[in-house]
Structure 1
Amino acid sequence: MTALRRQRFALPTGVELDVTLGGNGGGGADGDTGDPILFLHGFPESARTWRHQLADLATDHVVVAPDQRGFARSSKPRHVEDYATDLIVADAIALADALGLARFTLVGHDWGGAAAWAVALKHPDRVARLIIANAPHPLIFQKSLIDDPAQRAASQYMRAFRDPAIEARTAEWGIEGFYARSFEAHVPAGLVDADERAIYLDQWRQPGALTAMLNWYRASKIIVPAMGEEVERPAWIDQPFPKLAMPTLVIWGMQDKALLPCQLDGLDALVPDLRIVAVEDAGHFVPWERPDAVTAAIRAFLAERARAD
């Protein structure tokens, strides 16, 4: 049965997540193309980031895509520290445990990609394969924010999102204004139809949703210097960093204005078993700007790895 369904999970991490899941799999055996796939979305979206990939891949895989903590109708803890990376990682592992997924392919985009990198680094025994879409490796990202003026400039929005005053400004804009500034301005005109727009607006109108989504930025330990600011260089970025051994695919929309292609530079030194697929005519929201290209890249990668295994 490949039909997708929605189910709410109460996790031992203290949150309840709404999850899209379904599909067929081969029992999760290593090397089986039916291995389960866990998808993590980013800001300011929900599991709908992956709607195209879920519909396709559910024909021969178990697929799982939560609305992460703080998003849509999933739980929205009140405090900034409730969105620390370790807790988000724990959510992903707890959900996999609840579904009996001992090992899985992990897919992430944007903040979901940041979480996916962290899950793979902390729980490499659980992640059979890693797939990232427009989400920088933490070491490369932090280095670029200090050393690369173009990436620093492109990331100044993160400082704005951390500003406690942004909720008041957003209240003046209205949710439609927030949509126009944080989302619509960064996707091709006409790509999001009226029905999809209504879904996003409904999710963002949920009580506490805006602050909860922004708290992902506030809880992150990534340093985003102001333009021209001199900052103390964190010692960890110039020390040896753990390499990831699992096969990894990175899909990158090359027109991304927030996360520049410099995020791919030197990635192969940190991820030796790496494939990169550049999608030249897509931007940051590549999973649904170019859904067919993303799905095809995922399928080709999984098939290649199944043959290799």
Structure 2
Amino acid sequence: MQIAARGLRFDVHVGGPDDGEPMLLLHGFPQHSGEWVHVLPALHAGLRTYALDQRGYSPGARPAEAADYRIAECVADATAVLDALGVDAAHVVGHDWGAVVGWQLAARQPARVRTLTAISVPHPRALGRALSTGFGQRARFAYMRLFQRPRLAERVLLGRDAAGLRLVLRGVPRDRVDTYVAPMRAPGALTAALNWYRALSRRDFADIGPVTVPTTYVWSDRDAAVGARAALACGDGVRGDYRFVRLTGVSHWIPDQAPGPLTEAILARVGRGTA
């Protein structure tokens, strides 16, 4: 379905029983709601899922200015979509940038979040501490300097049959890569997705407090973007019930590479599976 919110139109993929507990799923870069395709069937046994194509990824929600992609705007989108759906509070699952939105939403508007399952990206405090106390995490984030360069990043990522974008997606099963690359070829789509990086500001994360809702953080030990120092410190930013799930031999693309263990972690958090 399409949801009109905040003067934009968001694509939301809905599934599961009408009376199931609501769950909002938030994707990351450079993917879209399709990254949940192997996770959703098990969730639909009892949950009503809303997989949102976020700002910049929904064609009808693609503002032109980089400043329009500040994380506060993306969080406001999530709450506005929940409002439009008539959902007071939802289980929230987010991967990559979707996890960033999930952390912000849970910390700043806990009444809207029943539980949080954050994938790959830890609590901003843990990430900030890792960035300030060691070179390792800063080196892992070096790619962001390219992503923040207008026009250059688009040429590097989409040139030569999107070789750069395919390199970013290294670790995603081959039959899934094209499902993510193809939408990024649409005029303005990649620029909109990169604007999340170009709008990034330390001010957006400086005052985030601890998360008090029940939370699971899922991290994989071959994640090229997030190192162990940041991942292991994630629990320091959570005051609610907390569970850390570490996957071995899996890269950053957990929903595509390890949908089974991820689904188990999600269901355990919402109380519909074994802990």
Q: TM-score, normalised by structure 2?
A: 0.92
| Alignment match, 2:39 | 53
Question: Residue 105 of structure 1 contacts residue 130 of structure 1 at CA under 8 Å; is this kept in 2?
Answer: yes
**Distance in 1 of aligned mates of 2:152 and 2:80:** 32
Cα 1:167–1:236 change in 2 (3 A) is: closer
Question: Residue 18 of structure 1 contacts residue 67 of structure 1 at CA under 8 Å; is this kept in 2?
Answer: yes
Question: Residue 166 of structure 2 contacts residue 177 of structure 2 at CA under 8 Å; is this kept in 1?
Answer: no
**3-state SS of paired residue (1:125):** helix
**Runs of 5+ consecutive residues of structure 2 not aligned to the other structure:** none
**Runs of 5+ consecutive residues of structure 1 not aligned to the other structure:** 1-6, 27-33, 224-233
Structural mapping, 1:136-215, within 5 Å: 136-167=122-153, 169-170=155-156, 173-183=159-169, 186-187=170-171, 191-193=173-175, 196-215=176-195
Question: Residue 142 of structure 1 contacts residue 222 of structure 1 at CA under 8 Å; is this kept in 2?
Answer: no
Question: Residue 68 of structure 1 contacts residue 74 of structure 1 at CA under 8 Å; is this kept in 2?
Answer: no
Structure 1 or 2, whichever has the larger Rg, is 1
Cα root mean square deviation, aligned: 2.4
AA aligned opposite 1:14: G
**Distance in 2 of aligned mates of 1:205 and 1:172:** 7
Cα 1:172–1:46 change in 2 (3 A) is: closer
Q: Which of 239, 244, 251 is the aligned partner of 1:276? A: 244
**Distance in 2 of aligned mates of 1:51 and 1:257:** 23
Aligned-residue offset at 1:84: 0.7
Question: Residue 70 of structure 1 contacts residue 209 of structure 1 at CA under 8 Å; is this kept in 2?
Answer: yes
Aligned-residue offset at 1:14: 2.1
Cα 1:268–1:154 change in 2 (3 A) is: same
**Distance in 2 of aligned mates of 1:98 and 1:235:** 27
Cα 1:168–1:215 change in 2 (3 A) is: closer
Percent identical among aligned pairs is: 33
| Alignment match, 1:291 | 259
**Distance in 1 of aligned mates of 2:100 and 2:80:** 17
**Distance in 1 of aligned mates of 2:248 and 2:274:** 27
The question of 1:301 aligning with 2:272 is answered: no
State the Cα deviation string for residues 239-296 of structure 1 (Å, max 9, x = none).
xx62211100111111101111212233323213210111112110111100011001
**Distance in 1 of aligned mates of 2:234 and 2:158:** 41
Question: Residue 81 of structure 1 contacts residue 219 of structure 1 at CA under 8 Å; is this kept in 2?
Answer: yes
Aligned-residue offset at 1:143: 2.2
Cα 1:205–1:149 change in 2 (3 A) is: same
The question of 1:79 aligning with 2:65 is answered: yes
The question of 1:9 aligning with 2:7 is answered: no
Aligned residues: 274
Aligned-residue offset at 1:37: 0.6
Q: TM-score, normalised by structure 1?
A: 0.82
AA aligned opposite 2:198: R
**Distance in 2 of aligned mates of 1:179 and 1:242:** 34
